[in-house]
Each structure stands twice: as structure tokens, then as C-alpha cells.
Amino acid sequence: MNRKVIIFFDKCFDRIILLASLLFFLVCFYAMYDAAMVYYNANDRSILKYKPDLTNPEILREISENAIAWITVDDTKIDYPVMQGADNKEYLNKDPFGKYTLSGSIFLDYRNSRDFSDSYSLLYGHHMEYGTMFGALDNFKKREYFDSHRTGQLITVGGKLYKIRFFAATMAQATDQLVFRPEDATPDALIEELSKSAIIYEPPETEGDLKLIALSTCQSADTIDRMVVFGVMQESS
């Protein structure tokens, strides 16, 4: 083969290798950047300036008209606004301000009443690393952690404050009609089932009619397994 032809092909090959290496570098860089941004968005504490109290619950409206409440689980990173979309997909990959992010938002099931007047309300959040979003729920499988993290609160945009006392931690599949159809489930039916199947269960203490809340997160992207923590909501002044 002609030497010039060989040199030409060698140069072409070198350029192909260079371009392939550059493309690989750019893909890796983007993947690292994307992962960093997901982590940053999940850990962005600037949202806390919108955290309401009884003197100013309407501050939630500054986030979005879909911001309906604020959920806090004491001594965890769960301290976020609660959104509600037209369906359960709207806030899977959207932050409270409507911007795209893989960390998504904490949101109430679209079939629930936005004022939390239902006897059973169901919240969803992504399973993020380092306990962000609803990543901390996995820790409730451990008895010691469960016992020391049983309290929280929820304040609605209408100014109602609910104290939360967690009483059960369980694994469920996304197809579970009792857990994941809040419009049909009753507190009595849920408690009866949890008393038999939950990983950790303590009989709930309450006065008057039971009002339950559940916090649900996935275990991994390729399963229908869900970690769910249940609590009793008591209205407080």
C-alpha cells in the first residue's frame, strides 16, 4: 500500500480516537454534572424561607398555587413544601417552582383533598441519597431509629397545624390497593393490616376520629417495592 495512503489512514484513525475520547469525556462530565445538580436540588435549603407558621401560612403561595402544605419530620432532612398536581406524575421530576429536576418534589396524591380533610392522606417523595427528600424513610426499618423519630408536623396553606405521631413502618408494593388508593382506604382497615404485616408497629394513640398520613418512597427504579411510614395526624392550635 502506498505510504501516503497509510499516513492518511493513520491520521484519520488518530482523529477518530481523539473525537471518541473527547465524546466520552463530555458524556462522563455531563453525567457527573447531572448527578451533582440532582444532589444540589435535593439539598437546597433555600426553600426553607417559605416554611410557614401559624402567623403566615400563606407564604406557601409564593412558591406556587400548587403548594398546599409543609411537611416536617423532626430530626431528619424531611422539611419540604407539599405539592399537589393534576396527577401523580406532575411532580415526579419537577421542583416546587415548576423547574425540571430528577429529585422532584414531595407531593400529595392527586385523589386526596388538598386541605387534608380526608381520613387518610398519602404523600410521595423520591428515595434520594443522604436522607434527602424521602430517602430518610429507609431508616425507619430500624427499631432504634423509629423510636427516636416518631414525631413531625404538617401545616396547611389554610393555616391548620397537624402534629404527627408515627406508628408503623412497612414495605408495600405499588399495586397494593389498600395503601395506594387513598380514596378507598379507611384508617381501620389500614391499621388492621399494619398490625399484622408491618416491619414495626405500635398501636396508635389518638382521641376522636382517626386521621392517618402515609409517607411513601420507592426502593429502586426497577422495582414496585415501596417503603411506607404511617402516622396519626392530630390537629393542634
Using DSSP's 3-state secondary structure scheme, residue 63 falls into coil
How many domains does one find in the chain? 2
Looking at the structure, tell me whether residues 203 and 171 fall in a common domain: yes
pLDDT tens digits, 18-61: 565 555 444 433 334 343 444 445 457 799 999 999 899 999 99
Grid cell in block for residue 44: 437546597
DSSP 8-state assignment for residue 109: -
**What is the pTM for the complete model shown?**
0.82
Looking at the structure, tell me whether residues 114 and 59 fall in a common domain: yes
Mean pLDDT in residue range 195-199: 96
Looking at the structure, tell me whether residues 172 and 113 fall in a common domain: yes
Is residue 182 within 8 Å of 88, Cβ to Cβ? no
Looking at the structure, tell me whether residues 159 and 81 fall in a common domain: yes
pLDDT tens digits, 71-106: 999 999 999 999 999 999 999 999 999 999 999 999
Give the domain extent around 66.
Answer: 51-236
Residue 148: CATH number of its domain: 2.40.260.10
CA distances from 59 to 45, 138, 232 (A): 16, 31, 26
Looking at the structure, tell me whether residues 25 and 117 fall in a common domain: no
